Amino acid sequence: MTGLMGSVLLSVSMAGIVISHLLRGRRETDGLVPSDDECRLARITAGLVALVTVVLWAFAMRTDPPFSAGQKLGHGFLIGGILGAMMCLVTNRLGPVCRADSFRARLLALIEVAFAGVFGVALVLTIFSSDPADAMVGYALGSVMASILGFYARMFRSETEDYLILTWCLVGLTAAAGTWLAVAHFATCVQRHFWPLPVLIITTALVACLIAQFLVRESSADSKWASSSVLVGIVGAFLTIAVSCVYAWQFGKIWKLLEVVAFGNGALALCAWVILGALTGGKDRAFRLDAASLSAVIVLAFAVAEFKLWSGLGIAIGLAAAWTIGLPTIAVSKRGTSDASARTIANVLSILLAFVLFRLFITRYQPVLSRTDLHVHYSFVGAILGVVIPFLFASSMHRVKLLVSSRQGTRADICALRSAGWLGVCAVAAPLIIYLVWQLKAAVGFMFGSTASLVFFLICQLFHESVSNQPEGRSLADYMVSLFIIAMQLPAIQFIRPFIDWSPTRLQQLIILSVAVVVGLGWFALTGIAASRVVSGGEGTDDTI
């Protein structure tokens, strides 16, 4: 039953990709093509992603921990990485569409890549229908690796951010994490038909969004962007809730499904209304701070209410359904204007995804946590580090962008890619180092702190806006760190388990901590010196990083 449902969802996602591509057409995007520099960077990125994927897949063909029996983790990583390499090329081709004056064209491009995200998860679900959990972890890791290289390399090279590949990644992670939670929630054999439920809901949300944009007539020249975005969101949410009512009946009158879908759409719609109102309500920063605080409260209410309704699975399904609201809101950004609305709503969706991953972490290590003495001071250390480290990523991104701007051509591409790759490696290593030094109690705090840091970034993004489009004038809050935070949380979920029974000595802990501190200080010293030379107009920074 699970494999059959996966095949159906796979077919629907493929049809969605084709239909959204055909509906978009070329009339509204004539003359919008990627530059030669963008095409070169996309090809290099795709090749690097494919190479790293194949190398790590070959390494993951082992059967000892942390690799799963049957190499499901490695095969899932292979699927996520290869699809990610393809998306680096596809999103580069679709990138100019997001700079078009047409809200409809932007929305259809987002729907197309969102269906591609569902396609990957449905493919994993079809192939590994008997036990998809480990394969879903591998797919998530592969897609995040590809997205980090694709998203941040482009951000370092230009003033635009690739929200297409970010949307592909977040949609795929939502479906994969939801399926993972469904497998844990419905643990008996007779309940396996519930496993595809999160993928079914997010596919329904995307189909509803596609139908809604077809039914809603676009406002002329996007002069009233709210009318198109709001109407598409309302119609799409209504269709999603209506179809979910049918699902709830067919799955045995599980009305909790209808409740979490309805609340998810309603909460994100309210949050989007508050955020967009703040961004278009003038320059009163106090008003924006109020709106940011209210948005954080709404996000928290979303997580608490969905958890009360249906545990962690409720948060995942509610988030899956909320993409009906999320996609039109991200598509609001207009050509030649700030993309603050897209960045902020993407951050909100990332916060909710971080809640899902945090719940996955607790579910995965619940037997160990039940016998662990959670000393408050160790959890506090982990929480503080979880909050601080994302801000260090933002400062690193600021320096790297300065360094990349001082280079031209292929040298700039290589600098951007190796910097994005290095920051990704640091993100993966951070939770493992914290666990090895302070054990599981600190890892729990770290997961909490990293999730909380996204809330702080949300508040900062609404309170502070870039005063200039130049790298040196950009606010650190404007940098998207959500992919790095997800890259910290996924390894914490998967790769801490092999070290559960190992207790390092004080000397070993001191060595691990010392190496991490020295490497971190060395990175900030090198990038700081090189960036200061760029700012002062000096030369000789080309080989510093």
Going by pLDDT thresholds of 50, 70 and 90, the confidence category of residue 228 is: confident
Question: Can you tell me whether residue 406 is helix, strand or coil?
Answer: coil
The residue-averaged pLDDT of 460-481 equals 61
Per-residue pLDDT at 36? 84
For 252-266, 287-301, 459-473, which range has the lowest pLDDT when averaged over its residues? 459-473
Given a cut of 50, whether residue 466 has pLDDT beyond it is no
Per-residue pLDDT at 544? 44
> What are 294-328's pLDDT values in tens digits?
888 999 999 999 999 888 899 999 999 999 999 99
Per-residue pLDDT at 465? 53
Going by pLDDT thresholds of 50, 70 and 90, the confidence category of residue 81 is: very high
Alpha-carbon distance of 117 to 295, in angstroms, equals 27
Alpha-carbon distance of 237 to 256, in angstroms, equals 17
CB-side neighbour CA atoms (13 Å) of 331: 34
How does DSSP classify residue 218? Answer: P
Going by pLDDT thresholds of 50, 70 and 90, the confidence category of residue 542 is: very low
Given a cut of 60, whether residue 225 has pLDDT beyond it is no
The residue-averaged pLDDT of 400-424 equals 90
Going by pLDDT thresholds of 50, 70 and 90, the confidence category of residue 468 is: very low
Alpha-carbon distance of 275 to 333, in angstroms, equals 13
The residue-averaged pLDDT of 435-464 equals 87
Per-residue pLDDT at 373? 59
Given a cut of 50, whether residue 472 has pLDDT beyond it is no
More confident of the two residues 25 and 12? 12
Going by pLDDT thresholds of 50, 70 and 90, the confidence category of residue 53 is: very high
Torsion of CA 152, 423, 392, 464, to 10 degrees: 10
> What are 370-379's pLDDT values in tens digits?
666 555 567 8
The residue-averaged pLDDT of 496-523 equals 90
Question: Can you tell me whether residue 132 is helix, strand or coil?
Answer: coil
Going by pLDDT thresholds of 50, 70 and 90, the confidence category of residue 541 is: very low
Evaluate whether 347 touches 457 at the Cβ level (below 8 Å).
yes
Q: Pull the structure tokens for residue 355.
A: 């809640």
Sign of CA dihedral 177, 180, 184, 186: positive
Going by pLDDT thresholds of 50, 70 and 90, the confidence category of residue 463 is: confident
For 194-203, 250-259, 475-484, 516-525, which range has the lowest pLDDT when averaged over its residues? 475-484
For 84-93, 336-345, 469-478, which range has the lowest pLDDT when averaged over its residues? 469-478
The residue-averaged pLDDT of 451-456 equals 90
How does DSSP classify residue 6? Answer: H
Q: Pull the structure tokens for residue 507.
A: 């000397």
Question: Can you tell me whether residue 253 is helix, strand or coil?
Answer: coil
Cα 495 to Cα 99, 378, 388, 490, distances in angstroms:
40, 20, 22, 8
- Crossing angle (nearest 10°) for helices 103-127 and 2-24: 160
Q: What is the mean pLDDT of the chain?
A: 85
Smallest CA-to-CA distance from 307 within 206, 185, 458, 204 is with: 185
The residue-averaged pLDDT of 434-449 equals 90
Burial 376-402 (b: 16+ CB within 10 A, else e): eebbebbbebbbebbbbbbebbbbbbb
The residue-averaged pLDDT of 230-245 equals 93
Domain spans of the chain, in order of start: 2-535
Given a cut of 60, whether residue 538 has pLDDT beyond it is no
Angle at CA of residue 230, ends 226 and 233, nearest 5°? 150
Given a cut of 60, whether residue 334 has pLDDT beyond it is no
DSSP string, 281-299: S-S-HHHHHHHHHHHHHHH
